[in-house]
Amino acid sequence: MLPSDDQKDRQKVTFKLPASLKANLKIRAAELRVDIQDAVADAMSEWKTAPHGEVPQVDTAGAPPFATWLTEASISQFKSECSDRGVPYVQGLAQAVTLWLSAHPSPRHQPLERATRRLIVCNQKGGVGKTAVTAGLGGAFAEDTELARLAGGAFPGDAELARVAALLVGKDSETGAPAALEADHEYEAPQLRVLLVDYDPQGHLTKQLGVKQLPANGPSLAKFMSRQVTGDIHDLIVPVDDERFGGRLDLLPSCQDAFLLDVMISAARNRQARLEHALEPLEAHYDVIIIDCPPSLGMAMDAAIYYGRERDGEREGQSGILIVVQAEDSSADAYSMLVEQIDDGMLDWRITTTYLGLVVNLYDARDGHVVTSSLNEWYALGEPRVIGVIPRRKEQREAARARRPLLAYDPSCAQSRVMRQIVKEIS
């Protein structure tokens, strides 16, 4: 396509712009599918019409260079307006971009018409793979339907996992899984807007997705929960950038100050509701919020249990607890302790919390009788029922090493397909 006369007349000009504004401008322009130069030109034009007293000052200390392409007329008009207002060019541009971002909100933060699902992924035993399941389910909820179908859909193809999938959908395990389970090409990915919350101070989810933990001296989820900071918790959100998720997958990163969360909220009234109060401003913008819980039975876990309760008007199973276990005896012991805490919380707070199911992670029948018999015991439990069995394979470890979501790293692998199967089971 030939450039317009306006584009032909543009020349390169260098200003300064705070790094955070530059990053947000780049993301927002991409989300709205506008050229970043057009966004800057519009920002300058809109800024000129804004009343002087209503334009807030922006901290521009240490702002790095920012180059863009503008027409000579727009540059001249902008500089003239900066002189009239008595502000440096760097301040004028920072104000203009700030106003433009405010006037052109992210499509990811548009209010929803339905209630947000809240999924609590937990087990007080560490090392069972809660983080891997959280990230995998988030990707499966947000994934593009057509790309999911091309990857083979929801059911794994290897014989042992196909047998397990057959159990989950009520087929006869003696005759093996029917061919339809080998590749569910009719699978419909939900394509929902998803927020992953790294509630664990160790920050494994944050690190696995290639994001830095929040600094201990700045705002964080723990500080919002303890009301030590004010402001907009949206500012902490980081998008998980991969075309597979179409801008629908976000992360609230962890911060090491969460190690002190129990102390920070111990004196708060209704401390079990602290997580809900902190995340409530985000709920209108996401279809699903998934909490990656720490391996703990403290007050932080109480707050997560309360957050996942059944609210008035919700259908049963819309929100609730998803417990990740392994096919081993120690996992059964930890499960019993967690269930006791959940049941005590329901009694104390007079709430109903739904057990969405068990996910048996890192399963490999080649490990022998202990593993296969443990899996059978999880099935025999009945309620909560087993809703997924994730194989012990290399792809999840490789994805974590590559700092990428599993479904983006290898969407066709058995682990990815079981993640889709779990989403299908609880949708």
- What would the pLDDT profile of 107-164 be if each residue is shown by its tens digit? 765 554 568 999 999 988 778 889 999 999 999 999 998 898 888 887 765 555 666 6
What's the whole-number average pLDDT of the chain?
85
Cα–Cα distance list, 424 to 28, 45, 317, 321 (Å): 32, 48, 13, 16
Residues 66, 61: Cα–Cα separation, whole Å? 14
- In degrees and rounded to multiples of 5, residue 33 shows phi and psi of 60, 45
Structure token pair of residue 28: 């927002």
Say if residue 360 is exposed, middle or buried (CB neighbours under 10 Å; 0-12, 13-18, 19+).
buried
Q: What is the pTM of this model?
A: 0.72
- pLDDT exceeds cutoff 80 at 287: yes
For range 284-304, the mean pLDDT: 93
How far is CA 85 from each of CA 52, 73, 103, 301, 327, rounded to the nearest angstrom? 8, 18, 21, 52, 68
Task: Judge contact between 402 and 393, C-beta under 8 A.
Answer: no
- CA 359, CA 391: separation in Å to the nearest integer? 11
CATH number for region 117-426 = 3.40.50.300
* Residue 159: predicted pLDDT: 58
Q: Torsion angle of alpha carbons 340, 341, 347, 349, nearest 10°?
A: -170
Asked if 295 and 201 touch (Cβ cutoff 8 Å), the reply is no
| CA dist., res. 84 & res. 76, Å (int) | 12
Residues paired with residue 11 on neighbouring β-strands, in sequence order: 70
Amino acid at 135: A
- pLDDT given at position 4: 45
* Residue 231 half-sphere exposure toward CB, CA atoms < 13 A: 12
Residue 65 bridge partners (DSSP): 16
Please report the pLDDT score of residue 124 as a whole number: 82
Q: Measure the CA–CA gap between 422 and 155, rounded to whole angstroms.
A: 10
Instruction: Report the pLDDT value the prediction gives residue 278, as an integer from 0 to 100.
Output: 94
Would you say residue 23 has pLDDT above 90? no
The CA–CA distances, whole Å, from 203 to 211, 220, 321, 342 equal 10, 12, 20, 24
235 and 275 Cβ atoms separated by less than 8 Å: no
Mean pLDDT of 65-70: 90
- Least confident window among 47-61, 247-261, 301-315, 374-388: 47-61
Give the tokens for residue 342. Answer: 């959940």
Selected residue with higher pLDDT from 176 and 296: 296
Half-sphere exposure of 401 toward its Cβ, with a 13 Å CA cutoff?
6
Average pLDDT over residues 396-408: 93
Beta strand ranges found along 87-189 (DSSP E): 117-122
pLDDT at 56: 77
The confidence score (pLDDT) of residue 7 equals 56
pLDDT of residue 283: 93
